Structure 1
């Protein structure tokens, strides 16, 4: 159970995002931009109502990519963070040196497949062992 491990290791919401970013950079993808860190909504606001459906955005201007996630420390959000940041990686890849008119995904289904693939890898036993969330012996004993 990833939730139990996150709590036991006293993971913060910020650590969940930096762990996801480390995953992407470890496979040769992009670091998140300074605007991502400054302008994304990682927590549910306490001073106003907000729609909390997790979403990723390419704001279309000067490397401004954002997520909107009312993050809680649990396994669902660990997956969701990787999924949504997978969309950001895809945005970054096809926006590099492209005019705005060409800065959209080939197909929304493919975009979701990218996010789901990243999310599934994030919760795979191999990745969880690498993070120290699972013991290799526990996986191999089944």
Structure 2
């Protein structure tokens, strides 16, 4: 009877130990599952954060390129404006030079005509003097 009781207690201890081991294994499996779930959640969060960072960087770079392109366009427009102003200035100066040359030619012609008239008057006066002296 005593041996049966000991054997029974031994089996009960063995079963309790097996049950404890199973419970421990379930607990470890649950902890692993929760740990994996947490890590998976963290990876997902990190992926979302990284995607958002990449998107922000893309937008920042895009904005930077747009500013660069706008600046380059402004520079090109400024260069065109300066070239047009220079062209207009040259056109004006050329027209002014032509006008100045024409004015100089007109003044030269007037001087020549006045000089010629002066000589004609001088010659006419000399001729009149000669004729007066002949009388």
Pairwise same-fold verdict (TM > 0.5): no
TM-score range for the pair, normalised by the shorter chain length:
under 0.3
Higher relative contact order (CA 8 A, sep 6+): 1
Looking at CA atoms only, which structure, 1 or 2, has the larger radius of gyration?
2
* TM-score, with structure 2 as normaliser: 0.19
Which structure dedicates a bigger proportion of its chain to helix? 2
